[in-house]
């Protein structure tokens, strides 16, 4: 196993992208401050330009600039940028860029425009990506989020890649939200780095030996997730149950309200960073929604 691959474990934040102004440009200073904050609160790493980062809503050049700036401001964070694109040439260009700039690995969506692709086509996509974009000693993490991409990361796909490109195939982020799916990935692929993408499955992930979590709450309360991880590791089930419940309470706000906008607003409330925008087709919170979120966050945290 690659030494870099072995280090990829713990609490990763799929970081949001701070859009500002009428032109919805990116506030790179905000990114630096946010990464410093999550690092100081126990995050192991960051995943910029993914789903929570609205990666597919940005141009290729914007994503390269975002990833480059995030890597420059990494501090002690492990970095796994999202480089999945619908077009293979774009995925190759973005993946090569991220790894050449020093990313530890990359998180790659399957090609998500054409639905129900044949296994052969998916295998060819990832094999070509590995051949053309991934240098020796580096590898990719495949992104299973079928409710968004409509293209699952199947065992057949993983088996084919492990047969032809074992050194390039490092792991899976499972954002299906299905505990049985997570358990199957972990049990079937003990040599891969399996990450849970659901905050609600964090305790389960740590308990069954997953590499860690890449989940929305790490943008906001990575210390809670790190605390949960440590509680599970030392076998303190009662404390872990209570911490998971607290995480679930906060995470529910991201289910009730527009997720990316709510995440950015809660970061603003708890960390004092400037309130930033989402990019269409995402929508902003209403004044009424912000008031409701603020009230609930105060209840969950006991005042912040």
Kindly tell me if the per-residue pLDDT of 2 is higher than 90.
no
What average pLDDT is seen over the chain? 97
Q: SS3 of 20, please?
A: strand
As annotated, the active-site residues are: 51, 113, 143, 173
User: What share of the chain has pLDDT > 90, as a percent?
Assistant: 97
pLDDT at 23: 78
Q: Which segment of 1-5, 127-131, 281-285 scores lowest on mean pLDDT?
A: 1-5
Residue 119 pLDDT > 60:
yes
Average pLDDT over residues 134-150: 97
286 SS3 class: coil
Domains of the chain by start residue, with CATH: 3-236 (3.20.20.70)
**pLDDT of 62 over the 80 cut:** yes
User: Residue 16: which of 65, 55, 44 has the closest Cα?
Assistant: 55
Please, which pLDDT band fits residue 1 given cuts at 50, 70 and 90? low
Classify residue 151 by burial, with Cβ atoms within 10 Å: 0-12, 13-18, 19+.
buried
Its pTM stands at: 0.97
For the segment 245-270, what is each residue's pLDDT rounded down to a tens digit? 999 999 999 999 999 999 999 999 99
Q: Can you say whether the dihedral through the CA atoms of 90, 197, 104, 81 is positive or negative?
A: positive
Tell me the pLDDT tens digit for each residue of 125-140.
999 999 999 999 999 9
Residues 281-300 have a mean pLDDT of 98
């Amino acid at each position: 196993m690659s030494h870099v691959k072995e280090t990829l474990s713990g609490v990763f934040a799929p970081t949001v992208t701070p859009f500002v102004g009428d032109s919805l440009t990116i506030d790179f200073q905000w990114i630096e401050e946010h990464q410093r904050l999550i690092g100081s609160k126990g995050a192991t790493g960051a995943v910029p330009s993914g789903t929570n980062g609205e990666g597919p809503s940005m141009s290729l050049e914007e994503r390269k600039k975002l990833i480059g700036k995030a890597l420059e401001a990494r501090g002690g964070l492990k970095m796994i940028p999202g480089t999945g694109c619908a077009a293979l040439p774009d995925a190759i260009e973005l993946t090569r860029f991220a790894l050449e700039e020093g990313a530890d690995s990359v998180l790659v969506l399957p090609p998500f425009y054409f639905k129900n692709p044949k296994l052969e086509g998916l295998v060819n996509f990832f094999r070509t990506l590995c051949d053309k974009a991934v240098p020796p000693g580096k590898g990719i993490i495949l992104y299973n989020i079928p409710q968004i991409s409509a293209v699952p990361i199947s065992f057949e796909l993983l088996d084919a890649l492990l047969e032809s490109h074992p050194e390039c195939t490092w792991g899976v982020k499972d954002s299906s939200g299905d505990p049985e799916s997570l358990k199957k990935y972990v049990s079937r692929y003990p040599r891969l780095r399996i990450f849970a993408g659901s905050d609600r499955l964090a305790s389960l992930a740590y308990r069954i030996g997953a590499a860690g979590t890449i989940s929305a709450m790490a943008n906001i309360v990575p210390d809670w997730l790190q605390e949960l991880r440590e509680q599970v590791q030392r076998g303190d089930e009662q404390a872990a149950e209570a911490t998971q419940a607290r995480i679930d309470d906060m995470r529910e706000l991201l289910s009730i309200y527009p997720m990316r906008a709510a995440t950015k607003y809660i970061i603003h409330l708890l960390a004092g960073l400037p309130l930033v925008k989402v990019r269409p087709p995402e929508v902003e919170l209403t004044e009424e929604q912000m008031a409701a979120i603020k009230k609930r966050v105060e209840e969950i945290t006991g005042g912040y």
